[in-house]
Amino acid sequence: MIDALVELIQEGDLEPGAKQIAERAGVSHRSIFRSFDDTTDLAETAARREFAAAAQLAGVPDAAKRAMAARIGALVDSRLVSYRKVENATRVARHHAARYPRINDEMTTLAIVLRAELLDYFGPELTDADRPTQTAIADAMMTLTSFDAWDLARRVYRDEQIRRSRSTALDVLLCNAAARGQR
């Protein structure tokens, strides 16, 4: 049933009803309500699963002794891939977040995890900066690499331009962090 809901969303039906979900899943309409409290419970369960998958996809790649430019490229590429995969599901979650606190909580948790990963991933570049600068740069990196920034950019630019602009901006932010730490 969760798979059916996600498939319908990925196909562009952002608010499928219980009947559509049941038909897609090959179960009776009542089966949904035997397994879930209501369609909200089903949607929240699906959102949790999709955000967990997104966190794995959007997670920062292994940094093992890679130069900053290589880590930036790997991060940008991983975000582009993950956002394409969860595009419709994320839109649905954003649409419902105000009405469903558990979906909002899942989105907040994912954002906190991704921000912490950025701080860790680019730790070598941030070690010489003071705490307020580290925080400001982490916030800027989080905004720059967010789904919302990607969603806006993809309406105007091709992936290569998005990749280039994100990589350049991250490079400038991180090089500035090192320079600020030396002042």
Which CA distances in Å does 56 have to 16, 22, 43, 53, 85? 26, 28, 20, 5, 12
Query: Span 118-143, mean pLDDT?
Result: 90
Query: Span 45-60, mean pLDDT?
Result: 73
pLDDT in tens, 60-74: 667 667 899 999 999
122 or 182, greater pLDDT: 122
In angstroms, the CA 161 to CA 40 distance is 38
SS (H, E, C) 4-30: HHHHHHHCCCCCCCHHHHHHHHCCCHH
In the chain, where the domains are located: 62-181
Tokens standing for 73?
Answer: 């490229």
In angstroms, the CA 81 to CA 180 distance is 32
> Is this structure's pTM higher than 0.85?
no
Query: Span 160-165, mean pLDDT?
Result: 96
12 or 18, greater pLDDT: 18
